[in-house]
Chains A and B, each alone.
Chain A
């Protein structure tokens, strides 16, 4: 009985393998023969993005780049290049709002990705949604033991909201100011 199921399973696996191989070859050959520029560009972009994501998953510098992306710890132009890469629910991310006068936490919570939303989504969960003043925002992202913590300053008055990146917080809790 088990032998028969095993045989059927391996037959099915082989059929699917051949079918997929046939379909993928036909896909690539047709794109080429029809001179389908759009499909060719998309396929190339797809392969580049998949490789890039795969690289992020296995390389420590890639992981650091992704954490920097979530915390806006890059130059905008560098950030913009990798911002189109999909990242639905990524890393272990936390936001903590700190009262700058007492330096005590006001509140903190997990977010699914893009910790910098703690700075820019002011009207949602920020203490400045309904009042003027300043708060410090501590963002942390962790991925397989690698952690990045950055500190930001958010101020609101009757005319404007100002968001400033202060710097990276090191393991001793010291803030390394961001280079201008």
Chain B
């Protein structure tokens, strides 16, 4: 029996939306890489902590550019070999940034690293039946979101964050963006402090809920995550898109993988009503 395998359409859509969101995040961060490269091009970085190979701004710039280039190609051409190249570039560049002096404090390589698990799974399972994809893909999306926010929220359960003191400095007191400048000009210091406190507490509660979405029903969890990420983006400094861009992609990819209406949950992926893998004699 000859088997002709066709990539699942929902997988292709999910792959594209994830790569597009990742690209948005990384393009947002390109400024930082270019400025680091400019700054270090005539200077050598000596560190008693980081291994020398990670201290090369040129290598960081090359890996970063490779992610951008392969992502554009993977968006334009739907070819599984290209997806593998793109995935490899994303994985190597993320790890290089996470483990080296140029990106260890950035959030987007971390969200990209965890989001890339969904991408890897999509590449490996692109020819599976739709019912299997529907069931497992969205759950992986929710697990990625939960993990990132669980990692974020546990460090915020502190007096400084609960009182609003930390966020007051980090976001409200000095951020040069128009929305914060306007806010500083229009409200008194005590009102500003109250806003910071409430913002901080809402952020902690929302992130706590987001860290639990892996236990939610898939559709509810994904819609909730999407709404919360959108709210977070609107309320926070706009530059946070570099960190939450890959997460937006993970959530949107999960939504694309869901069926347009709920099918019964068939065990073993056997109850597919939209079989996209064709078996041909």
The 8 Å CB contact of A113, one of B46, B105, B135, B148, is B105
Question: Residue-by-residue, is B130-170 near A (CB-CB < 8 Å gives 1, otherwise 0)?
Answer: 00100110011001001111111011111111000110011
The 8 Å CB contact of A16, one of B43, B98, B151, B217, is B217
**Quick check: B105 and A163 within 8 Å, CB to CB?**
no
Neighbouring A residues of B45 by C-beta, 8 Å = 160-161, 163
Q: In chain B, residues 62-108, which have Cβ atoms closer than 8 Å to a Cβ of chain A?
A: 95, 98-99, 101-102, 104-105, 107
Asked whether A87 is an interface residue with its Cβ less than 8 Å from the other chain, the reply is yes
Q: Within the complex, what minimum Cβ distance (angstroms) separates A19 from chain B?
A: 5
Stretch among B5-13, B19-27, B121-129, B184-192 lining the A interface: B121-129
Q: Given A23-B217, A53-B150, A112-B170 in contact, is the A76-B44 Cβ separation under 8 Å?
A: no
**Quick check: B217 and A122 within 8 Å, CB to CB?**
no
**Quick check: A117 and B105 within 8 Å, CB to CB?**
yes
Q: In chain B, residues 212-242, which have Cβ atoms closer than 8 Å to a Cβ of chain A?
A: 214-218
A144–B157 CA distance with the chains assembled, in angstroms: 8
**Quick check: A50 and B104 within 8 Å, CB to CB?**
no
Neighbouring B residues of A116 by C-beta, 8 Å = 104-105
Interface size on A (CB < 8 Å)?
A: 64
Neighbouring B residues of A83 by C-beta, 8 Å = 98-99, 104
Q: Given A53-B150, A91-B155 in contact, is the A23-B139 Cβ separation under 8 Å?
A: yes
Asked whether B29 is an interface residue with its Cβ less than 8 Å from the other chain, the reply is no
Stretch among A3-11, A28-36, A169-177 lining the B interface: A28-36
Q: In chain A, residues 46-74, which have Cβ atoms closer than 8 Å to a Cβ of chain B?
A: 46, 49-50, 53-54, 56-57, 66, 72
Interface size on B (CB < 8 Å)?
A: 67
Neighbouring B residues of A162 by C-beta, 8 Å = 46-47
**Quick check: B51 and A120 within 8 Å, CB to CB?**
no
**Quick check: B104 and A42 within 8 Å, CB to CB?**
no
A80–B114 CA distance with the chains assembled, in angstroms: 15
Question: Residue-by-residue, is B266-279 near A (CB-CB < 8 Å gives 1, otherwise 0)?
Answer: 11110000000000
**Quick check: A110 and B135 within 8 Å, CB to CB?**
no
Q: Within the complex, what minimum Cβ distance (angstroms) separates B39 from chain A?
A: 4
Q: Within the complex, what minimum Cβ distance (angstroms) separates B204 from chain A?
A: 10
- A29 (CB) vs chain B CBs: closest residue: B267
Asked whether A89 is an interface residue with its Cβ less than 8 Å from the other chain, the reply is yes
**Quick check: A92 and B161 within 8 Å, CB to CB?**
yes
Neighbouring A residues of B113 by C-beta, 8 Å = 84
**Quick check: A120 and B150 within 8 Å, CB to CB?**
no
Neighbouring A residues of B267 by C-beta, 8 Å = 26, 29-30, 33
**Quick check: B217 and A20 within 8 Å, CB to CB?**
yes
Show 16 residue pairs from A and B whose CB-CB distance is below 8 angstroms, ordered by the A residue: A19-B217, A34-B268, A36-B136, A46-B214, A49-B147, A49-B151, A53-B150, A76-B50, A84-B98, A86-B114, A86-B147, A89-B170, A143-B155, A161-B40, A161-B45, A165-B48
